[in-house]
Structure 1
């Protein structure tokens, strides 16, 4: 039975990303000590900018052996890697280049290719690099997720076929705005991660946060983020006070520090 989500609230986005960076480093240290590598899937959106800046700060960066971290992506816009809307492009400029991450440790989605071909290619890459047996799902050490004010996460948008995909690891998807054509990992991949971490900030997310986290099960909720329910791992929600403002109960793990 899936564990209950762990909720953590923070005064503002700066405090939130500092805690997220600290958690990422601690999880990375543990994974490297146990398996000699750390597999993390990055998210898109605006919050990663602040997280990347924090991870590259000297006090944080020196704590992890970045040569043993392998970076993947939860989703990508169907644009070239140098495009200003590219999730890879943002990570390359703000995270990989400052930390001198070798290209062999960066596993991007080929957003410039045709969507179906890019999805198949990325699933093939994931299968090879994770050495996952047939009929099993890969296990990331950490999947980072954001959430839109429509309740989407990765590029799993309400009402799209990608949300109900149950066998493929990576599929094309479609967004209601911005670059419409996307590639996304599926819920099966997300829900088999060891740790799933939502980073959610802002008053515009508060209603959806409340509906997902205080859902009583008596009515369906149309948000893909609500379908993130890890099979065996941990699910953490990091919320700033604004995003948590409509919760009717105080999160049981409300803190600015995290024990991995």
Structure 2
């Protein structure tokens, strides 16, 4: 299966969120028509939550059969269930509470009030992932990711062990440079097993990370540089975040970073 990386530049954050929502609803409609179950991975962060809210507001939202959708997370802060900083809570409020999705299809990371330590919580999520995939990891059709100004994705931060973990799975993250210091995250190999990875980022403070990712920076230093989905990798950005992209690569609304000989692009 061929893969490529593409960057789509939108005028501002609102336009980015609306376009991502449109792409999600259209792609999910096609996926649900061709397979019985679709697994997706959600992200937190302000732009990621904006995208989820835009999906909830989409007029065709309820045309999707959410009973056949399974929702996972790329990472989570190690804070109690229901805490406002949990990606899970934010995603529920932005989208999941608004659609008819069975509770059994929502797969949040464990929380510290569930009687587990951080390492045991990572193992339990890994076990849940494998169970859902029938002994291996499920095939993620769409994985959303945010990108930090330092180039981190999920809770894989520069100069920590996480970005260079070689095996797919869920891991415990200690000493995060962003609070809280303890987190849970999917590894880069598991993220990259996704059919499609859609990275959403906005603002001038993300421009350097995007530029370095496209320039092929070391994954240990700029984790987002290592993201590559099995079929498509999309960077959905606003104009401010695209400021450090090489001018020779920019088209009016988008540009390619790979597979330049494949003009018939599909989501």
Same topology, TM > 0.5: yes
CA contact (8 A) 2:43 2:154 kept: yes
1:171 & 1:220 partners in 2: Cα distance?
17
**Count, aligned residues:** 252
How well do the aligned residues superpose, as a CA RMSD in angstroms? 2.1
Alignment of 1:100-249 (within 5 A): 100-112=100-112, 113-133=116-136, 138-174=138-174, 175-215=176-216, 222-230=221-229, 232-249=230-247
How far residue 220 of structure 1 moved from its aligned partner, in angstroms, is 7.5
Query: 1:69 is matched with which residue?
Result: 69
Shift of 1:211: 1.6
Q: Which moved more, 1:25-34 or 1:114-123?
A: 25-34
SS in 2 for 1:59: coil
User: Distance between the aligned counterparts of 1:17 and 1:57, measured in 2?
Assistant: 11
The Cα offsets for residues 79-136 of structure 1, whole Å up to 9 and x where unpaired, read as 1121111011111222111224221110110022311111100010001112254xxx
Distance (whole Å) between structure 1 residues aligned to residue 37 and residue 122 of structure 2: 24
For structure 1, which segment, 144-153 or 204-213, has the greater mean C-alpha deviation from structure 2 after superposition? 204-213
Rounded to whole Å, the distance in 2 between the matches of 1:93 and 1:223 is: 31
8 Å Cα contact 1:146/1:153 also seen in 2 = yes
Aligned to 1:82: 82
Which stretch has the larger CA shift, 107-116 or 190-199? Answer: 107-116
* CA distance in structure 1 between the aligned counterparts of 2:238 and 2:61, rounded to whole angstroms: 24
1:48-67 Cα distance to aligned partner (Å, 9 max, x none)? 22112211115141332212
Structure 1, unpaired ranges of 5+: none
Shift of 1:195: 0.2
Tell me the secondary structure at the aligned position of residue 152 of structure 2. coil
- Counterparts of 1:186 and 1:62 in 2: how far apart (Å)? 32
Q: Would you say the 8 A contact 2:158–2:220 is kept in 1?
A: no
- C-alpha deviations, 1:180-214, integer Å up to 9, x for none? 10000001111111000000100001112112113
| SS of match in other structure, 2:242 | coil
Which has the higher mean CA deviation after the structures are superposed, 204-213 or 142-151? Answer: 204-213
Q: 1:125 to 1:202 in 2, by over 3 A?
A: same
* Unaligned residue ranges in structure 2 (runs of 5+): 255-264
Residues 24-54 of structure 1 show CA distances to partners (whole Å, capped at 9, x for unaligned) of: 1122122211211211000121112211221
